[in-house]
Amino acid sequence: MFKDPSYYIQGVLDFNRLMLARTITLIESQLSTHQDIAREVISELLPHTGKAVRLGITGVPGAGKSTFIESFGTMLTGLGYRVAVLAIDPSSTRSGGSILGDKTRMERLAVNDMAFIRPSPSGGSLGGVARKTRETMLICEAAGFDVIIVETVGVGQSETTVASMVDFFLVLQISGAGDELQGIKKGVLEVADAIVVNKADGDNITRAKLAKKQYETALHLVTPSSPNWTPPVMTCSALEEKGLSEVWDTITQHKKIMTATGELEEKRRDQSMSWMWFLVKEGLETWFYNHEEIQKVLPTIKERVETGNMAPTRAADELVSILGKELLF
Ligand SMILES: Nc1nc2c(ncn2[C@@H]2O[C@H](COP(=O)(O)OP(=O)(O)OP(=O)(O)O)[C@@H](O)[C@H]2O)c(=O)[nH]1
Ligand SMILES: [Mg+2]
């Protein structure tokens, strides 16, 4: 591990893949000495970020995310774009394995010089995993990747977390076995910039078209996040590489409109702000729980509230004032 941040910074800016991988490992490290260097590296690289298309992709297990990213990513590299694929997968059972275990499904992309695949950071809360992925995204942008794809399986809040760090959020769906609409959470519909019904091939085409109509109806029921963008529903076949260029056209069209209206800039600004507040809250919480005196009095206070001997408001006041006292000296 190098001590000097400039090794990492220069390595990333030079598009040195080894240094890029090492920088991401540095970011993912739990060691506070590593985190100190990582913070400096990120600050220095920040002015070099912001140019990429940030694309989020979600879909239930088996929807075809890996296959889609393989085909779509390969198409993009063919167009001359450099593509980075990152993942957010907070579930412990698949920790770190979501993309790696799938490398067989991303065979071409995995050996493509224009592409870079990084599995989800393992372990920790969704917030912790998201934090590392967000920072990795910035590193990849500074390195010069044109498109950053952040993949997630829809566990818990992971979709909204990914949606809150990208420019365009794509929901990959498949048609149901029968006529029924495959389950989609309302919260996901609200953040979708497009729904793509995958596996529209073979004798599945009719079902896929029907599903497309049903999702269009479902989308009418939610308020679009922008007055200038109506999320379209499209069909594709990741396996047969059909409908992929239409998806890319939609994304570039979205970017053009959002840039022209100033919404992209505003969205990224809002995302940075909520990210800052998230980190502040997280920092305060860590400080709180690690505080010696809090640790000392917390069990007693908790017990008194539980037994009804102390009002929750009073308890909260007392706990917070312990931190306040520290600030006075
Ligand atoms: N017919 C057809 N099959 C597809 C298509 N895309 C993916 N599949 C198949 O669907 C299965 C699941 O695809 P994956 O790409 O692994 O799906 P995933 O969303 O990455 O799944 P998880 O990683 O488990 O969340 C595989 O057997 C694929 O070959 C498609 O466009 N058409
Ligand atoms: Mg997969």
CA quadruple 72, 74, 76, 78: dihedral sign: negative
Residue 239 in contact with ligand 1 by CB distance below 6 A: yes
pLDDT score of 153:
82
Residue 152 in contact with ligand 1 by CB distance below 6 A: no
- Which residue, 125, 37, 142, is CA-closest to 82? 142
User: What's at 316, amino acid-wise?
Assistant: A
- Token pair for 141: 């942008």
How far, in Å, CA of 323 to CA of 329, rounded? 11
Residue 205 has pLDDT above 70, yes or no: yes
CA of 116 to the centre of ligand 2 (A): 16
Where does the chain hold its CATH 3.40.50.300 domain(s)?
49-261
Residue 77 in contact with ligand 1 by CB distance below 6 A: no
CA of 250 to the centre of ligand 1 (A): 22
State the average pLDDT over residues 248-255. 98
Q: Among the residues of the chain, which ranges form H helices? A: 5-13, 17-28, 32-45, 65-78, 97-100, 107-110, 126-143, 158-163, 186-191, 205-220, 244-261, 263-290, 292-306, 312-328
* Position 140 confidence tier, pLDDT thresholds 50, 70, 90: very high
In this predicted model, which residue has the larger pLDDT, 72 or 107?
72
CA of 96 to the centre of ligand 2 (A): 12
Residue 96 has pLDDT above 50, yes or no: no
Residue 237 in contact with ligand 1 by CB distance below 6 A: yes
pLDDT score of 317:
94
Residue 246 in contact with ligand 1 by CB distance below 6 A: no
pLDDT score of 240:
96
CA of 110 to the centre of ligand 2 (A): 14
* Position 66 confidence tier, pLDDT thresholds 50, 70, 90: very high
| For the CA of 63, the nearest ligand | 1
Residue with tokens 């069909």: 235
Which residues face 237 on adjacent strands?
Answer: 242
Residues contacting residue 166 through CB under 8 Å, at least 6 positions apart: 54, 55, 56, 148, 150
Instruction: Give the global pTM.
Output: 0.89
Residue 97 has pLDDT above 70, yes or no: no
- Token pair for 261: 């209206």
CATH number 3.40.50.300 given to 49-261: yes
- Which residue, 29, 45, 46, 37, is CA-closest to 5? 37
pLDDT score of 182:
58
Q: Which of 66, 95, 247 to mutate to test the pocket of ligand 1 (most atoms within 8 A of CB)?
A: 66
| For the CA of 64, the nearest ligand | 1
Residue 238 in contact with ligand 1 by CB distance below 6 A: yes
Of the listed ranges 72-76, 107-111, 151-155, 246-250, the least confidently predicted one is: 151-155
Helices 5-13 and 17-28, interaxial angle, to 10°?
130
* Position 225 confidence tier, pLDDT thresholds 50, 70, 90: confident
Question: Hey, whose CA ends up nearest to atom 30 of ligand 1?
Answer: 199
Where does the chain hold its CATH 1.20.5.170 domain(s)?
1-47
Q: CATH for 275-328?
A: 1.10.287
CA of 120 to the centre of ligand 2 (A): 12
Q: CATH for 1-47?
A: 1.20.5.170
pLDDT score of 100:
52
Helices 126-143 and 5-13, interaxial angle, to 10°?
60
Residue 64 in contact with ligand 1 by CB distance below 6 A: yes
CA of 237 to the centre of ligand 1 (A): 10
